[in-house]
Amino acid sequence: MDAPLRQSAAATLFQRIAPLPAHRYITFTALGGMVGSFLGFGEVIARKSLDASGFAITMLTMLAPIASLSTLWWARILVGRSQSMLVMLVGSIGVLALASGFFLTNIEHLLLIYLIYFSFVNGLYGQAENLLLQQHFAANRIGRIFGLGQSLAQGGAVLVSVGAGYYMDQIPAGYQHLFLASAFIAMMAMLLFATIKTITGRPENKAYIDRHFILSPLKKMVEILRERRDFFRFEISFMLYGIAFMMLLPVVPLYLVDDLHYAYSEIGIARGAITQLVMIGGVPLFGRIFDRTTPHRLAVWVFVALSIYPISLLAASLFEGLLRKAMVYFSFAWFGLTMSGLAVLWSLSSIRFSVGEDSGIFQSIHVAMTSIRACFAPILGFAIMTIFGKSVAMLASAALWTLAGVSVVYMRKYDIKSGAFRSLRAQKQ
């Protein structure tokens, strides 16, 4: 049987199991959550099993967001091309990268896996997912659909976080087996996603690989940020949030392993299961709130509320036994609640700003800004931790989150004063 027929058979099977695009999107999201949950163990695997240095772990935390810069070019590649074929091709590269983890024995290999997976899979899927949501669902239902998908994703992630943690505690090389299992799940998600059709532009508008292909996304990004000053100001506030978030990326895993001496299973329950259990209910809730409010109003609450997370986690070191565990659990539960709102903001705010325009372009800029801060924010966190200690690094992140919330209020007032104001509420369709 040739390749096109195999793809058609797979598409037919998935369409029978999940006949509506909403069903297939939600199932795809759930499978992706399972893969993402395991990849969340990356820094812990690097420290506990591969004996990686703090700096190497910092490099690992930087790879995913920096690699996501590829989304600028994936947005151009999608135009005029078959999304399904690209998802199959690029997804296969990601599956092979994950499968190679079965032979993982050093930090260099782990860095390569993350670089390939996040450059290809996350870069393309992020664009394709945004187009799918925009084209298949009414604007005032996107938050609800997205929230349901994320809720199921967090449910699967809870099982993976707990199960993978205990498995790796019992079997020294268990992480190798789990990389292979993740590759299989990623393959199923890829096949499912490929069955959801979207319109990606006219064939004559295809981008070809030349100097214009390399530079045009960057020029388009600058052009939109100049024309849409309201979006640019929103991204400035998001930049402050993101710097604080990324400063903690190398700090928290080292804090849990070196200071609290947590095992894989304990980290899986605290950092994974507790956070994701809260997000099961939190993301649908914030998805509904998002359908009824604006990105700015939701961002103010989320950014300021996040500042409680590093402070409470730091306070856990002052206690022992059950009190310490309870404090750690509370910290990650609060983190899960606030990140529920952030997940909705992150994925859907670009759709609000891009009414009447291609939301994928706006989202690619959103992701590109993440890559920019990833070039320095984790290193900044690592430097503060190395020079002043983990406590100062955590408190610095809390202060930046508070500043980010305040800046949202100021930026929105400036929008109104300067005349760049426009309604960002969902329009019923």
With a cut of 80, say whether residue 426 has pLDDT above it: no
Predicted TM-score (pTM) above 0.85 = no
User: How confident is the model at residue 20, as a pLDDT?
Assistant: 60
Q: Is 227 exposed, middle or buried (0-12, 13-18, 19+ CB in 10 A)?
A: exposed
Three-state SS at 16 = helix
DSSP single-letter state for residue 419: T
- Residues of the chain with pLDDT > 70, as a percent, come to 87
What are the C-alpha distances in Å from 66 to residues 22, 37, 252, 350? 30, 19, 20, 19
User: How confident is the model at residue 360, as a pLDDT?
Assistant: 67
Q: How far apart are CA 11 and CA 6, in angstroms?
A: 9
Q: How far apart are CA 375 and CA 267, in angstroms?
A: 27
Question: Residue 214 — pLDDT band, cuts 50, 70, 90?
Answer: confident
Tell me the per-residue pLDDT of 323-378, one tens digit each, with 9 for 90 and over.
999 999 999 999 999 999 998 898 888 888 877 676 767 877 887 888 889 999 99
CATH match of 9-198+212-418 with 3.40.1350.10:
no
Q: Return left, alpha or beta for 201; rule: phi > 0 is left, psi -120 to 50 is alpha, else beta.
A: left
Q: For residues 80 and 200, is the Cβ–Cβ distance under 8 A?
A: yes
User: How confident is the model at residue 50, as a pLDDT?
Assistant: 94
Q: What is the mean pLDDT of residues 23-40?
A: 88
Which is it for the CA torsion 143, 146, 151, 154, positive or negative?
A: negative
What number of other Cβ atoms are within 10 A of residue 59's Cβ? 20
Tokens 């992140």 — which residue?
397
Q: Is 420 exposed, middle or buried (0-12, 13-18, 19+ CB in 10 A)?
A: middle
More confident call, 13 vs 363 = 363
Question: Residue 101 — pLDDT band, cuts 50, 70, 90?
Answer: very high
User: How confident is the model at residue 91, as a pLDDT?
Assistant: 87
User: How confident is the model at residue 399, as a pLDDT?
Assistant: 97
Tokens 């981008």 — which residue?
207
Question: Residue 41 — pLDDT band, cuts 50, 70, 90?
Answer: very high
With a cut of 60, say whether residue 10 has pLDDT above it: no
With a cut of 60, say whether residue 301 has pLDDT above it: yes
With a cut of 80, say whether residue 139 has pLDDT above it: no
DSSP single-letter state for residue 121: I
With a cut of 50, say whether residue 429 has pLDDT above it: no
Q: How far apart are CA 73 and CA 119, in angstroms?
A: 11
